[in-house]
Chain A
Amino acid sequence: MESRSHAGAVPSTLTRHQLLDEQGVVAEDPLLSPYAADITVEELQHLYRSMTLARRVDEEGTSLQRQGQLVLWVPLRGQEAAQVGSVWPTHPSDRIYPSYREHAVAFERGVPPAELMRYFRGLSAGGWDPEQYNLNPYTVVLGSQTLHAVGYAMGASLDRKAAEDSGSPLDGDPEAVIAYFGDGASTEGEVHEAMVFAASYDAPVLFFIQNNQWAISVPFATQSRVPLATRAAGYGFEGLRVDGNDILGVVAATRYALEKLRRGEGPVLIEAETYRMGAHTTADDPTKYREREEEDQWGHLDPIERLRVHLRTVHCVDQAFFDTVAAENDAVARQMRADVLAMSPPEFVDRFDGVYAEPHSLVAAERAEYLDYQAGFVAQDDSQDSDSEGVGA
């Protein structure tokens, strides 16, 4: 979409990379084409499956919230290519730091949809096991996780250097770290510090920005005069601007960035230009701040539809495949719904155990106080029962 004009704004000359155009036709891009050349049709079908699964679960999430089964849901509709395309090329050993809309990233990392819903059902403060999936929990204070990603990446480099110095270098590719955030978070001061520190210590971190054009109700033009990828140059590292609704472009840009990081030439920033087709959250009402025409325009750029057309017209994938995927996704969504509805609330008393790693006198005392208080209720209920029985007798 066109940016609003700013008096005195200097136009950006940054190339916008694209491999799969709006008609599903592959375009040549001198930088990125080599990074998508070997993608097989089976892999494209996997990407399609992942993107559509995320959208199906997303729809189920909105329904569950509307039915009072989730405390909140954060729709990702429209951002499937940006998310799946950026996480698919990673190694399991690469640490991922999501923001809070990265459901497709989490699913691609193996997090079962129902496990992710624990957070949105108000049962858990985090959801999945971060070590199992090498995926940090969601971070709601915008941009804070970018610094953690940089520190983690600094640690990965230090580990590798220490192993080399000790004469027993680590096997395998050097690790890379991805920090996800959006155009809204990009204006947070901590994101600036993350980029400064990443540059100072050559941290192998990919800053992956999903520019979905809206920070709740504030349009991108208020966040920045220029594409966000432009900012990387100011920190002295490479910034790539890519069509975020183009799955091939996102995969290729991410592969290119990860290679650089593994060569020790990081950090890298990718800005994937996409669109939040739904509301910010289920508590939001986009009709208050944006036009239907804009939503329709972006609707024509739907990342899933683009890949579907590509698969059908270029790779002759038949309708049976799409039908099967849809049926499979429905089954996953149904199972997820059943699992969510079957979840029982946690015991409040367990909250006292998760705060400190080592014994803590105040927490121990308050835990005992809480249990005493609860025990008092039980005793009172019993006595009331016996009283009423007494009256009855």
Chain B
Amino acid sequence: MSKLTVAKAITAGLARAMEENPKVMLLGEDIGSLGGVYRVTEGLKARFGAHRVLDTPLGEAGIVGTAVGLAVRGYRPVCEIQFDGFTFPAFNQITTQVAKLRARTEGRLSVPMTIRIPYGGVIGSVEHHSESPEALFAHTAGLRILTPSNAQDAYWMEQQAIACDDPVIIFEPKRRYWLKGEVDEENSPGDPFAAAVIHEGTDATVVAWGPMVPVALAAAKAAEEDGRSVEVIDLRSLSPIDFDTVTASVRRTGRLVIAHEAPTFGGLGGEIAARVTERAFYSLEAPVLRVGAYHLPYPPAAVEDHYIPDLDRVLEALDRSFAY
């Protein structure tokens, strides 16, 4: 057991994957000598060599596209996209090539690659550095999407994604990179595509993922003071989504609030709301409510706290749910 930040847990997870499989290699901008703009890959170039940690030319399509060729060749490439908002030059490669090559070849070619994307806001940065584009990728068949909310998941999900024979995007909650937690290097938390009930409750369920998980936990604690018992689910996998765990919880609690940093409109909260309504209609005591960002481009840092849902907005949604 070690106490690590999320960032250092990712570093350790990547290092272990590289130790265990010589075919694992990292590609990205400034990830080698600099160690990445968030220092997540710090020390890995010195340890594993420049042929396994590539400081690539600046070009996201180039990073992801060459990784497709490397993956088909038998490598396990791990791409780092520097910031969420810079994913889009690679959007074509990810959606038309990475996601579809296996289906196009009727299962003959696999694309076992990992794409790491630091995502989310509240870091006080300039535009294109704070976005949550997970729904755009969840909508595309052929991809898998994980998002850790704590150090233990961060450590293991990197290794599980790399070991997976399918392409996996890991959305890393960049405002939680410095969040410390226990990492058990011996015991894996199991299926990365399963959601986890991280706080049990009986009166309502809050589903969150990545950077919003600590907010959801804080909401559960605050609600407790008002005598409400709120269950919190860390979704962990955004494609596929573990609807069974969510539905089972709602059948017990009768109320559901989904909180994410991405804009509410067209966000994954809508998909979860629809599925739960289909599956647990007679268990619901109130409409499923969503808490997300507004249908606006990510705003300037000075006003971002109005845009990203915080503790109060989650509590307000819970109040509305209880009012039914």
B123, CB-defined interface residue at 8 Å:
no
Contact with B along A125-169 (1 / 0, CB 8 A): 110011100001101010010111111111110110110000000
Stretch from B1-9, B40-48, B53-61, B226-234 at the A interface: B53-61
Stretch from B99-107, B256-264, B280-288, B298-306 at the A interface: B99-107
What's the tally of chain B residues with a CB closer than 8 Å to chain A? 52
B22, CB-defined interface residue at 8 Å:
yes
Tell me the bound Cα distance from A141 to B104 in angstroms: 13
CB distance from A193 to the nearest CB of B (A): 4
Whether the pair A155, B70 counts as a contact (CB closer than 8 A) is yes
Which A residues touch B166, using CB under 8 A?
356-358, 360
Stretch from A11-19, A20-28, A347-355 at the B interface: A347-355
Tell me the bound Cα distance from A125 to B100 in angstroms: 10
Which A residues touch B72, using CB under 8 A?
136, 148, 151-152
CB distance from A129 to the nearest CB of B (A): 6
Cβ-defined partner of A355 (8 Å) among B25, B64, B112, B141: B141
Tell me the bound Cα distance from A153 to B65 in angstroms: 12
Whether the pair A196, B62 counts as a contact (CB closer than 8 A) is yes
B69, CB-defined interface residue at 8 Å:
yes
Which A residues touch B68, using CB under 8 A?
147-148, 151
Which B residues touch A345, using CB under 8 A?
none
Which A residues touch B124, using CB under 8 A?
none
CB distance from B164 to the nearest CB of A (A): 6
CB distance from A56 to the nearest CB of B (A): 28
Residue from the set B22, B70, B74, B241 with the largest chain A CB neighbour count within 10 Å: B70
Tell me the bound Cα distance from A363 to B104 in angstroms: 16
CB distance from A173 to the nearest CB of B (A): 17
A298, CB-defined interface residue at 8 Å:
no
Within 8 A of A (CB), among B75-110: 75, 77, 89, 92-93, 96-97, 100-110
Beta-carbon nearest neighbor of B138 in chain A: A362
Which A residues touch B56, using CB under 8 A?
197, 200
Which A residues touch B100, using CB under 8 A?
125
Cβ-defined partner of B70 (8 Å) among A126, A130, A154, A190: A154
Whether the pair A161, B51 counts as a contact (CB closer than 8 A) is yes
Beta-carbon nearest neighbor of A366 in chain B: B141
Whether the pair A137, B105 counts as a contact (CB closer than 8 A) is yes
Whether the pair B69, A151 counts as a contact (CB closer than 8 A) is yes
Whether the pair A357, B61 counts as a contact (CB closer than 8 A) is no
A374, CB-defined interface residue at 8 Å:
no
Beta-carbon nearest neighbor of A157 in chain B: B51
B169, CB-defined interface residue at 8 Å:
no
Residue numbers of B with Cβ under 8 A of A are 22, 25, 51, 54, 56-57, 59, 61-62, 64-75, 77, 89, 92-93, 96-97, 100-110, 112, 141-142, 144, 164-166, 193, 239-244
Residue numbers of A with Cβ under 8 A of B are 124-126, 129-131, 136-137, 139, 141, 144, 146-156, 158-159, 161-162, 189-190, 193-194, 196-197, 200-201, 351, 353-358, 360-363
